[in-house]
Amino acid sequence: MRVWRVHLPEQKVCPQGVLRWVFVWMSVCFFVFTVGPPSRSLVKKSSSPRSSCPPCDCYCSSAEYLLDPLGLANGSISDCGKHDPVLNEEMNKGLLTMLSEELNLQKVVANESLEHTKRLVMDARKTFSQYQKEAEKCNIGMETCEEARQRAEAELIEERRLTALWENRAREYGWSDKTKLRINHH
């Protein structure tokens, strides 16, 4: 039995030394990416005492930053909006007020959706009515055509009967089809 291999056993796809260096560099980059942002902000604060921005009341240590990047675990989130009047007003609202506002918003959205649905239903009814009128016109036209076809068929049967009667009378008086053909050829 033959064994098919992509690489020979003596060949190595990637030497172990190269693979080891790749892992080391990836580890260093991951460490710098993880620890770097909080430490750079500390270095900037200590090196430049004059800052164009006011100091932030929300401070997170690097350990807290790693565990909770949004800052929701500590109580500092309530301090973040005290200088913004709109945000401060929203944060001071009670739970009942916020739930009431949410219900009112949902009611408005539901009413708008209901009105939109009603308009769509009315449009569909109008379109259905137009199609129904067109279908009735088509049916009346079909009935008229069918009646005309039946009359034409009855008239054709009567005409054939009369033609056969006249041909029989003509034959009784000596008429033949050959004379008819000679007349047509002249």
With respect to residue 135, please indicate whether it lies within any of the assigned structural domains: yes
The reply to whether 5 falls in a domain is: no
Same domain as 64, residue 36: yes
pLDDT of residue 170: 92
What is the tens place of the pLDDT at every residue in 5-27?
555 555 556 667 888 898 899 99
Is the pTM higher than 0.75? The answer reads no
Predicted pLDDT at 13 = 60
Residues 108 and 178 in one domain: yes
> 156 is in which domain, residue-wise?
98-185
Q: 77 and 104, same structural domain?
A: no
Predicted confidence at residue 20, as pLDDT, reads 86
The predicted-structure confidence for 66-86, as pLDDT tens digits, reads as follows 555 555 555 555 555 567 777
**Number of domains composing the chain:** 2
Residue 66: predicted pLDDT? 54
Q: Are residues 22 and 38 in the same domain?
A: yes
Same domain, 23 and 38: yes
Q: Are residues 85 and 117 in the same domain?
A: no
Q: Where are the alpha helices (DSSP H) in the chain?
A: 16-47, 62-67, 85-92, 95-172, 177-185
102: left (phi over 0), alpha (psi -120 to 50) or beta: alpha
Name residues of the chain where pLDDT drops below 50: 181, 183, 186
Is residue 104 located within the same domain as residue 125? yes
